[in-house]
């Protein structure tokens, strides 16, 4: 029996990077997966990849900053899959190389809208569904920047710090509802987001070593390594784990 047979999972930002790898990993272990993001064409491709590998997946359009969009996505997923057991709040954005004075109010608001408001909106809609279903698991994607500050990431560090404490507060509120709430705090992960940051900073060839060198293990993570931690937190093996911010960072925050 696969670890997630019969389990229904919704992954925001499921059409790229860590979200895509996590959707694929859940499906490979038997879950039915909803891939949610704004770009439906890319979500359709990920859902088709999962289906052609023998898994079950649906794509749903969702802008996590917009309450009505979140509501219609959650309603559609619950109607299609018959309920929801796991929510991975993974959608995120970063404006890098910006101190607070260099961050525009619009960039600040957008950073908080996707990373924090999106996590809040999706969670507040999904909790009642999980309670009705007898429980569930929420995993949030924070960052090591939510545990320690980072230069040039004022808005992003503030937002990811908020995600870490939203995780802990919700874990306390819903412990007796049978809902566990945890977050992962990845170091640098090889995804389109990180590659975009490298381009802005002078190109991957010039700056990749800077990302690798800051991790004690001497490299950056693969999206699959973060996915493995998300699956652990969502699994029955983690039944006594809630309110945790788990670094997946090659030792970065151990320093
Ligand atoms: N890569 C890293 O080094 C790293 C490290 C630590 C933490 N993280 C976190 O990991 C998460 C995933 O990042 P990634 O590196 O995999 O980035 P990515 O490849 O750029 O993926 C980001 C995802 O978020 C979705 N998204 C953006 N805005 C959205 C919105 N308003 N509504 C719904 N979905 C939205 C995007 O899809 P659409 O554009 O189609 O909506 C995309 O699927 C983020 O929360 C990020 O902060 C990443």
The answer to whether residues 162 and 193 belong to one domain is: no
Number of domains in the chain: 2
Identify whether 213 is part of a domain.
yes
The answer to whether residues 99 and 119 belong to one domain is: yes
The answer to whether residues 195 and 243 belong to one domain is: no
pLDDT tens, position by position, 72-103: 999 999 999 999 999 999 999 999 999 999 99
- Which residue's CA is the nearest one to ligand 1's atom 44? 92
- Which residue's CA is the nearest one to ligand 1's atom 43? 13
The answer to whether residues 36 and 71 belong to one domain is: yes
pLDDT at 146: 98
For the ranges 56-60, 131-135, 201-205, which has the lowest average pLDDT?
201-205
Q: What DSSP string runs through 64-89?
A: TT-HHHHHHHHHHHHHHHSS-SEEEE
The answer to whether residues 65 and 111 belong to one domain is: yes
Distance 127 CA to ligand 1 centre (A): 22
Q: What's the pTM value of the predicted model, to 2 decimals?
A: 0.98
The answer to whether residues 171 and 123 belong to one domain is: yes
Contact call for residues 244 and 233 (beta carbons, < 8 A): yes
Specify the 3-state DSSP secondary structure of 250: coil
The answer to whether residues 138 and 205 belong to one domain is: no
The answer to whether residues 87 and 209 belong to one domain is: no
On average, the pLDDT of the chain sits at: 97
The answer to whether residues 192 and 77 belong to one domain is: no
The answer to whether residues 150 and 228 belong to one domain is: yes
Enclosing domain of residue 211: 188-220
Distance 89 CA to ligand 1 centre (A): 10
Range list of β-strands (E), 7-78: 8-12, 32-37, 56-61
- Which residue's CA is the nearest one to ligand 1's atom 36? 13
Q: Is 156 a catalytic residue?
A: yes
Q: Identify the CATH number of the domain in which residue 82 sits.
A: 3.40.50.720
Which residue ranges have their beta carbon within 6 Å of ligand 1? 12-13, 15-19, 37-39, 42, 62-65, 90-94, 114, 141, 143, 186, 188-189, 191-194
Helix (H) or strand (E) holding 182: strand 179-186
The answer to whether residues 131 and 215 belong to one domain is: no
Contact call for residues 34 and 81 (beta carbons, < 8 A): yes
pLDDT at 1: 66
């Amino acid at each position: 029996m696969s670890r997630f047979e019969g389990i229904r999972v919704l992954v925001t930002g499921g059409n790229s990077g860590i979200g895509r790898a996590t959707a694929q990993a859940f499906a490979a272990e038997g879950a039915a997966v909803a891939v949610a993001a704004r770009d439906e064409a890319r979500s359709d491709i990920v859902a088709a990849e999962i289906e052609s590998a023998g898994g079950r997946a649906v794509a749903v359009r969702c802008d996590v900053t917009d309450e009505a969009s979140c509501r219609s996505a959650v309603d559609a997923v619950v109607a299609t899959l018959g309920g929801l057991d796991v929510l991975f709040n993974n959608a995120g954005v970063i404006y890098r190389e910006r101190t607070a004075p260099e961050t525009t109010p619009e960039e600040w608001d957008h950073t908080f809208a996707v990373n924090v408001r999106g996590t809040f909106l999706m969670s507040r809609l999904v909790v009642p569904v999980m309670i009705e279903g007898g429980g569930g698991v929420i995993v949030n994607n924070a960052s090591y920047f939510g545990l320690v500050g980072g230069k040039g990431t004022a808005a992003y560090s503030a937002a990811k710090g908020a995600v870490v404490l939203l995780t802990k507060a919700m874990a306390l509120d819903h412990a007796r509802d049978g809902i566990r709430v945890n977050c992962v705090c990845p170091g640098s992960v090889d995804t389109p987001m990180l590659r975009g940051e490298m381009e802005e900073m002078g190109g991957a060839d010039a700056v990749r070593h800077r990302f690798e060198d800051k991790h004690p293990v001497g490299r950056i993570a693969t999206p699959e390594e973060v996915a493995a931690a998300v699956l652990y937190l969502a699994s029955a093996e983690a039944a006594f784990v809630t309110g945790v911010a788990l670094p997946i960072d090659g030792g970065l925050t151990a320093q």
